Homo-oligomer: A and B are copies of this chain.
Amino acid sequence: MPPRKPASVNIKDVARHAGVSLGSASRVVNNVANVGEETRAKVLAAIEALGYRPNHAAQSLRSRSTRTIGCLVTDVANPLYAQLFRALEERFLAEGYLLLLANGLNDPDREIALLNLFRLRGMDGVVIAPGNERHAGVLKAVAALEMPAVVLDRDLASRHDKVQFDHAAGMKAAVAYLAGLGHRRIALVQSQSSNRPMRRRAEGLRAACRSHGLAFDDRWLVQLPSSTSSAYDAVAALLAAPDRPTALLVQGTSILVETLNAVSAAGLSMPRDLSLMSIGDPDFAVHHAPPLTALRVDLHAVADRTAERLLARLGGETAEAVSLRVPSELIERGSCGPAP
């Protein structure tokens, strides 16, 4: 009747070997109180002798807990999500949870399928950052999640806890810093995708400029149509204009590298002729000549907040959903200086 004979030693074997009951063996395995010293020792010895390892599927079935967290991100190949995953792994591994990772790739159908799979697989909790925060199907799939969930950096309407990155405030700090250095023409270079963080930053920039009494020319919002298009050309054009911006905010690793390239090809020296601030803090920023000033979110803080929320819910907390906001930090290095 069994599909295969696994010949695997189970808790019954342990109990028999130890000469105690099944229940006692289980109590020892699960570190439950009210176990006699002698009984515990015998069971432990049997476990050791037999090389017993609990069957996770059986534990899950009985205890209704998989000790697994599902993570749905847009794309791990994006360093931001990769680093975030690492930080999350740190927190959850320490609590005995393993992480399932899936890439939504901005495809709503895929995201829906993945979300449903997480449900089917009985994840104890999920951390999700769906690319399609307005898609009805995605919203429905998110709403259907019956386990604790934390929504990361997305605006989607749901009853779950949220951890947001403070994009607008970050842009405000960046503009304040640059305005303080005398800059009055500030450009933003980013890729053209309509997800929340991008939009928020563009909006944040406009608002911040306004509140500092700076004009904002639409030519200074460079949104690159697709990942195949060249930031190099766009930035070169931007810098060739007579009233070129004196400060550049640049988002995305590839775009940053191409921008740096265009700046040096234009014969401009940082921070003398041009100030540049990276949005996001890639590894090489600190080693660049000059080191690049960067605006970033503290991903460890994000992971901490996220884990704290999810763990609290897992622990049975039933309070109303909260929305946390993790501030951006401005890392002053050498690529920004007084406006020329």
Instruction: Spell out A's residues near B (CB within 8 Å).
Output: 3-4, 6, 53-58, 60-64, 66, 68, 75-77, 79, 82-83, 85-86, 89, 93, 98-103, 117, 119-122, 227, 230-232, 253-254, 257-258, 260-262, 264-265, 282-284, 287-289
Most B CB contacts (10 A, CB to CB) among A56, A82, A260, A284 go to A284
A145 to B79, CA, bound (A): 31
Q: How far is the CA of A62 from the CA of B1 in the complex (A)?
A: 10
CA A282 to CA B68, docked complex, whole Å: 32
**A265 touching B283, Cβ below 8 Å:** no
| Min C-beta distance of A118 to chain B, whole Å | 9
Enumerate the 10 nearest inter-chain pairs by beta-carbon distance, A residue then B residue, closest first. Answer: A57-B60, A57-B61, A257-B284, A254-B283, A254-B284, A101-B101, A77-B82, A76-B82, A258-B287, A56-B121
Flag if B289 contacts A232 (CB, 8 Å).
Answer: yes
- Complex contacts, A55 vs chain B, CB 8 Å: 61, 122
A55-B122, A287-B230 given as contacts; is B79 within 8 A of A86 (CB)?
Answer: no
Report Cα–Cα, A266/B230, bound state, in Å: 25
B86 touches A77 (CB 8 A): yes
- The answer to whether A117 and B103 touch (CB under 8 A), given A60-B57, A77-B86, A86-B76, is no
| Cα-based distance from A55 to B61 in the complex (angstroms) | 8
CA distance A92 to B130 in the complex (A): 21
Identify which of B60, B100, B261 contacts A100 (C-beta below 8 A): B100
| A264: chain B residues within 8 A (beta carbon) | 264
B102 lies within 8 A of A100 (CB): no
Is the beta-carbon distance between B287 and A231 smaller than 8 angstroms? yes
Given contacts A232-B289, A261-B288, A283-B253, contact A89 B103 (CB under 8 A): yes
- The answer to whether A63 touches B3, judged by C-beta atoms less than 8 angstroms apart, is yes
Partner of A57 from B3, B66, B75, B98 at Cβ < 8 Å: B66
Shortest beta-carbon distance, A176 to chain B, in Å? 29
Compute how far the CA of A284 lies from the CA of B261 in the bound complex, rounded to whole angstroms: 10
Nearest CB in chain B: distance from A9 CB, A: 13
